[in-house]
Amino acid sequence: MCGIIGYIGKKRAAPILFDSLKKLEYRGYDSVGMATINGEAEIEIKKGSGRIEAVNEKEDFLTLKGNIGIGHTRWATHGAVEDRNAHPFTSCNGHYALVHNGILENYLELKEDLKKKGHVFTSDTDTEVLVHLIEEEMNNSKEKDLVKVLSKLTQIAKGAYTFLLLDAKNNIIYAFRKDSPIIIGIGEDELFASSDITSFLAYTNKAIILENNQLAILRDNCSIYDIQTGKEVEQEITTIDWTAEQASKSGFPHFMLKEIFEEVEISKHALEQDSLKFNGMIDVLSKAKKVFFLGSGTSYRACLLASIYFAQIAKKHFMPILGSEFKTYQNLIDKDTVIFAISQSGETADVLEGINIAKTKGARVVSLVNVIGSTIMRESDQYLTLNAGPEIAVASTKAFTSQVLILTLLAYGLSDRLKEGREHLYEVVRKLEVIMNQSDTIAILAKDVLNKNDLYLIGRGASYPIAMEGELKIKEIAYIHADALAGGELKHHTLALIEPGVPCIALVPNDDTKDDMINNIMQIKARGGKIIGISSEHLELFDYYISIPKVHLEPLLMIPVLQLISYYLSVIRGNDPDFPRNLAKSVTVL
């Protein structure tokens, strides 16, 4: 969940680390800190709880000296959000500073043992245990070989501990990966190590993506070792086709709004899939006896929607499963099964856990991801990419739209109607701009009608998972109690909550669900609920109306409407839509 960055080069480290940390803040924003080697073999640290800019006002990160350093922005797991729990942490002898992303499961046991050996702790975090443990093992090592020490560390310490270790005695940064991403940036006379490519895109687009249990040693060059074998491994440099401009706000007040408006363009890129890879994916799905969609959060909603379109278009039963619930279904998995993993980041921890379980059962794994080189992509037998560019806002928008478009196109491909599917989907893409042009109208509606304590969304068929995604977004960034349900479920429970004036968003596409939806709307109006209709037809039953163009796949045009509603509700309520409380972009811990 946390963001980590390291720099070594000829420039001053502090300004580069500060700039990079601001780009990583979406991964965690409870606290922030930086450590540099000041040129006298001493480590200097500045850190504190709060957002980056606020902490910088107190600490002035840019005064840190030296051209080697590490930084961290935190999403709290162990220890309250307090200054003393902010990273980095140092060893007792002052030789090492460490930042960490992940969880050390047996830290309490290790901490007690280290205390008995004289180590002094200053925080409640699991992370601080790591730097003291490394110090202890190095003190006891005759060879003083950190590769061997880390090999031993993986046997002692349980959990996920991807970290950067700053070595002040030798002017080295060690970057170690265990169960969450680390990418090495290769610049001109400078090196970076980070949990996200976007943090150093302004400096280089050349990267080495570390595999699990690999250690990168950064000095005037980069060496990579497999710590399980102790052997140096060959480096594979990847060129990232994202740009620094894509990772900026480009004049928009928030990343989220920018990313919603980007859907007009990136949706075209989503449908421009490599034909060989795309047809290969269709071939794998067509031959599988069982297919399970696997996703979490927004990606799970894409899985639900895909399962409906695969049933309707391709007449195939593909079962969607929440990543965190996959264990419950593991007895259904065998060598004739395909697991289709969906993830924006490609690092979602519970989805990765499901993939690992599936592989032990002999299942084949395919995936749809946005981040090139991500763990899920690398663990897959085949993959497709969203082509959505970097998505910075915690609430996923353009990635969800891209997921849905590609999965729907696959459903058409599986039914041997690829040409027809492309025509329908490009029709949707062409009409997206019509939705964006209603942004101001949606903002007014959000302010005057939808800004209540309770909000309901109803849909049927393909519109139901889209309503669920709208509910997720509204809760995620507006902090409003929202509830999405299939229209037919109203009479089973939710009608008991409908009171006069309660707003209800009704998704009414011009398809075979329309008549049933009208019946559900009448039930709500009979109890005094206010209907906000999203449809290509203005029905008399609507109290308020948001128009979408008439297309074959109308539910897909409802996606950006709900995204804009959630965005404006967030802003109206004084929230920061890019950084919702208690949440982070990449869920890399279980």
User: How many beta carbons lie within 10 A of that of residue 366, not counting itself?
Assistant: 19
The SS3 assignment for 41 reads coil
In Å, how far are 35, 112, 125, 521 from 107, measured between CA atoms?
23, 9, 9, 54
Q: Helices 298-313 and 398-414, interaxial angle, to 10°?
A: 20
Distance of alpha carbon 203 from alpha carbon 298, whole angstroms: 31
Q: Which residue has the tokens 């309707």?
A: 312
| Per annotation, catalytic residue among 2, 222, 303, 504 | 2
Q: For 422, phi and psi rounded to 5 degrees?
A: -60, -40
Distance of alpha carbon 401 from alpha carbon 388, whole angstroms: 9
| Per annotation, catalytic residue among 178, 473, 530, 585 | 585
- 347 is written with which tokens? 């690092």
Q: Which of 47, 131, 46, 50 is nearest to 86 (CA)?
A: 47
Distance of alpha carbon 333 from alpha carbon 340, whole angstroms: 12
Whether 585 is catalytic: yes
Beta bridge partners of 6: 70, 193
Whether 144 is catalytic: no
Q: Helices 398-414 and 263-271, interaxial angle, to 10°?
A: 30
Contact at 8 Å (CB) between 564 and 439? yes
User: First CA to last CA across the chain, in angstroms?
Assistant: 10
- 8 is written with which tokens? 């070594």
Please identify every residue annotated as catalytic.
2, 585
